[in-house]
């Protein structure tokens, strides 16, 4: 039984072998019932996580499965101090993609990043093609995310995330989080590069003219 539980916990946490410390089954200290038992199946874990109301409770559920593994091993790489948000109660345990962890609060992360991008765009001339394209797409995506945040239902979180993925045209909401951050970082670089300014070294006359093939004078005409 212990072997089965250990294998299950490894797949649930989606850790690499090198990250897994010796697994032990401990009771979750948050449980009020003396008969509390550590979950043994994915369904049981999902049910417990859905009922957890705080990050502390979620941590203790994980601790009951993996024992001595430190909490920081479970913290997602994109949860910086600036973007940490309360979990929205996700029950999804894995994205089934290596290196892509389930984001605990994707809507809040996206809204934060989109707003930061819009703030950065204020430093770029509105007449530039880059500003117009990025501003338009960011406003559109922000509207989609805000709609789901305003109508978030605890018992339908995964279904709503799936709908958001369709509207954002991504396979995973986590991909949208990564793309949003990439666009934000690019906007910061555009300000430094000032790509909208004229070239310091002017191109030679005709350098960017298209090649032209003169019409044939010998080809027979109908």
Q: Please list, residue by residue across 110-139, b when 16 or more beta carbons sit within 10 angstroms of its beta carbon and e when fewer do.
A: bbbbbebbbebbeebeeeeeebeebbeebe
Between 55 and 64, residue with greater pLDDT:
55
Between 21 and 67, residue with greater pLDDT:
67
Mean pLDDT of the chain: 75
Residue 22 pLDDT exceeds 60:
no
Instruction: Kindly report, residue by residue over 57-80, the tens digit of the pLDDT.
Output: 777 766 666 543 443 443 343 344
Domain ranges of the chain: 2-73, 106-193
Instruction: Kindly report, residue by residue over 77-94, the tens digit of the pLDDT.
Output: 334 445 445 577 788 889
Amino acid 63: pLDDT: 66
- 127 pLDDT band, cuts 50/70/90, is very high
């Amino acid at each position: 039984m212990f072997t089965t539980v250990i294998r299950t916990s490894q797949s649930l946490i989606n850790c690499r072998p090198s990250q897994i410390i010796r697994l032990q089954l401990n009771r979750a200290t948050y449980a009020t019932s003396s008969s509390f038992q550590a979950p043994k199946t994915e369904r049981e874990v999902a049910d417990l996580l859905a009922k957890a109301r705080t990050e502390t409770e979620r941590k203790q559920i994980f601790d009951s499965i993996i024992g001595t593994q430190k909490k920081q091993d479970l913290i997602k790489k994109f949860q910086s101090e600036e973007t940490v948000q309360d979990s929205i109660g996700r029950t999804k345990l894995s994205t089934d993609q290596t290196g892509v962890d389930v984001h605990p609060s994707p809507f809040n992360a996206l809204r934060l990043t989109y707003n930061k991008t819009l703030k950065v765009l204020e430093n770029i001339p509105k007449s530039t093609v880059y500003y117009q394209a990025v501003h338009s797409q960011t406003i559109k995506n922000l509207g989609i995310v805000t709609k789901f945040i305003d109508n978030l239902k605890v018992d339908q979180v995964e279904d709503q995330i799936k709908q958001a993925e369709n509207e954002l045209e991504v396979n995973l909401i986590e991909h949208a989080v990564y793309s949003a951050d990439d666009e934000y970082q690019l906007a910061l670089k555009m300000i430094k590069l000032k790509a909208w300014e004229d070239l310091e070294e002017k191109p030679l006359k005709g350098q960017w003219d298209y090649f032209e093939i003169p019409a044939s004078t010998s080809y027979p005409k109908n």
